Amino acid sequence: MYKLYTIILVLGISFSAITVEKVVDGGQIYFSSGQLHHLKGEPESSVRNYLESIQNKLGHENAHKFPLDYYKDGKYGTRHFSFQQTYNGIPVFGRYIRVHIQGGVITSLSSNIDNIDLSVVPIITESGAMDIIRPTYISTSTYLKYQNLQIYIHNSIPHLIHSIDAVSFEDSWRYMVDAHTGEIVDRFS
């Protein structure tokens, strides 16, 4: 009986420290789990310190400076942080680092951030982008609402875009208008 308890104790200790790490072709982490880091002090600061310590694995030297987009206290002592990627102060659509904590330990991290090299100076203005969309809806009761300037990665190519919503009683669409060319890069409802 003593041997069985010893085996269970050893297995329990061993498995709790196992780390799973998945990387993309460039070697950047997109998922990691296990006992990744023990928190010291205030949770958000400690998470940011951890992100700074693994910046080479994340493939981004300023990942620890990304704005906190979402925080939630979960069940059973869990906490969840989501940091949105930015490039030169402009948010990158749908690109986040998510960190999960159990007790005082970071237990998982997922990341879909990209390396971006793009001019963030728009050539097409906000009103110019609205004028590109407007002819489609000129004779309807659709309301156009400008959302923001952001970076949108479409088919692995980053675009500086103006995000515009077209809303009617029947449906709504979000348009991504390239702020350099005026091309409608994407739209979805």
- Residue 113 near residue 107, CB atoms below 8 Å: no
The model's confidence at residue 134, banded by pLDDT at 50, 70 and 90, is confident
Name the DSSP class of 76. Answer: G
Instruction: Identify any residues that bridge with 144 across adjacent strands, giving them in sequence order.
Output: 166
Q: What is the pLDDT of residue 12?
A: 35
pLDDT per residue as tens digits for the range 34-46: 999 999 999 999 9
Q: Is the pTM of this model over 0.75?
A: yes
Q: In whole angstroms, give the CA distance from residue 132 to residue 45.
A: 43
The model's confidence at residue 138, banded by pLDDT at 50, 70 and 90, is low
**Residue 67 identity (one-letter amino acid):** P
- Residue 158 near residue 180, CB atoms below 8 Å: no
- Residue 63 near residue 97, CB atoms below 8 Å: yes
Residues 6+ apart with CB under 8 A from 149: 90, 122, 126, 160, 161, 162, 163, 179
Reduce the DSSP state of residue 34 to 3 states and report it.
strand
Q: What is the largest CA-CA distance in the chain?
A: 82
State the first-to-last Cα distance of the chain, in angstroms, to the nearest integer.
Answer: 62
Q: In whole angstroms, give the CA distance from residue 58 to residue 48.
A: 13
- Select from 96, 94, 90, 34 the least CA-distant residue to 60: 96
pLDDT top residue among 135 and 1: 135
Q: What is the pLDDT of residue 4?
A: 32
State yes or no: pLDDT of 21 exceeds 70: yes
Average pLDDT, integer, range 131-140: 79
Instruction: Identify any residues that bridge with 183 across adjacent strands, giving them in sequence order.
Output: none
pLDDT per residue as tens digits for the range 91-124: 999 999 999 999 999 999 999 999 999 999 999 9
Across the chain, mean pLDDT equals 87
Structure tokens at 9: 């104790």
